């Protein structure tokens, strides 16, 4: 059950991070919006590196590490762009498709084969994520699919879901050939530095921009750091598809943030979808082994 607790805590931190960044930084460019958590989490990551034991590393670790960099970089950027341009309730539900993609990517990369209960739980979570985006007032059963083409944030998040399905399995492969703590700290130190350097060199960000909201930036950095730490430990304890399925409960928590903080509508129907997602998560936890 430890993996479930860590996965749920990851979901809570992810939802909190998305709501925080959207609320306080969505007026900036997408590059600046993404750079805030990257920049303010970097000192924590660098400070921790000397205290992390370095395990023996092999070719598979290096290969998975390098492949994960561009995949996660693209995923981070499109994720932030999606929640910037569209409501949380029209973007976050599409992350529920990550575990569906992971059934394929997990099989190819990690040779993980979820059992019937695990696959059923993943499907129920995806159905719940679909229902969250229904519009009963318009009686439009296909509205979630139409939203993919109509709403920029929706189709962007669908691409993010696929990118994360790849990033998660390659990340777990790297963890299996090192350690959760070593991989999470070294990987995110590297990708943070690379993205910040790329944005700075290309003129997409200016460092003085990040002096205006230091306290809010520190909170964003702490949430980002907690996310990567909890994610790495949780995914090392169970099948990648199962961990990501529970992590996608961040959609349910994001729904709450959307209603309370951003006053988004259609909460009743989306609550039904959220309950389905919780049911799917319980199916995976109890029987999906």
* pLDDT value of residue 23: 93
Q: Where are the domains of the chain?
A: 2-287
* pLDDT value of residue 262: 83
* pLDDT value of residue 135: 66
- Whether pTM > 0.85 for this model: the answer is no
Stretches where the chain sits below pLDDT 70 are 133, 135-148, 285, 288-289
Q: Where are the alpha helices (DSSP H) in the chain?
A: 2-25, 30-48, 59-85, 88-91, 98-110, 116-132, 143-150, 152-176, 180-201, 214-235, 240-247, 250-260, 267-287
* pLDDT value of residue 127: 84
> Tens of pLDDT along 72-91?
999 999 999 999 998 887 78
> Tens of pLDDT along 9-44?
999 999 999 999 999 999 999 999 999 999 999 999
Q: CA-based angle 215:196:23, to the nearest 5?
A: 40
């Amino acid at each position: 059950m430890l993996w479930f607790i860590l996965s749920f805590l990851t979901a809570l931190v992810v939802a909190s991070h998305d709501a925080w960044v959207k609320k306080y930084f969505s007026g900036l460019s997408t590059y600046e919006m993404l750079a805030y958590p990257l920049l303010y989490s970097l000192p924590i990551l660098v400070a921790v590196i000397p205290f992390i034991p370095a395990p023996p590393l092999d070719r598979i670790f290096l290969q998975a590490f390098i492949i994960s960099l561009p995949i996660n970089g693209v995923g981070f950027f499109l994720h932030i762009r999606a929640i910037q341009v569209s409501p949380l309730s029209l973007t976050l539900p599409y992350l529920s498709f990550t575990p569906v993609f992971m059934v394929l990517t997990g099989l190819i990369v990690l040779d993980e084969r979820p059992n019937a209960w695990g696959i059923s739980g993943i499907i129920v979570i995806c159905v719940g994520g679909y229902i969250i985006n229904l519009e009963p007032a318009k009686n439009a059963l296909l509205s979630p699919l139409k939203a993919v083409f109509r709403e920029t944030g929706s189709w962007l998040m669908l691409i993010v879901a696929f990118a994360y399905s790849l990033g998660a399995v390659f990340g777990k492969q790297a963890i299996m050939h090192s350690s959760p703590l070593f991989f999470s700290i070294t990987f995110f130190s590297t990708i943070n530095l690379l993205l910040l350097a790329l944005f700075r060199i290309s003129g997409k960000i200016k460092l003085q921009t990040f002096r205006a909201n230091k306290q809010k930036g520190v909170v964003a950095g702490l949430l980002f750091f907690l996310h990567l730490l909890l994610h790495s430990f949780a995914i090392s304890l169970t099948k990648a598809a199962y961990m990501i399925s529970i992590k996608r409960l961040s959609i349910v928590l994001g729904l709450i943030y959307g209603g309370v903080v951003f006053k988004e509508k259609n909460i009743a129907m989306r609550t039904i979808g959220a309950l389905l997602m919780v049911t799917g998560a319980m199916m995976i936890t109890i029987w999906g082994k």
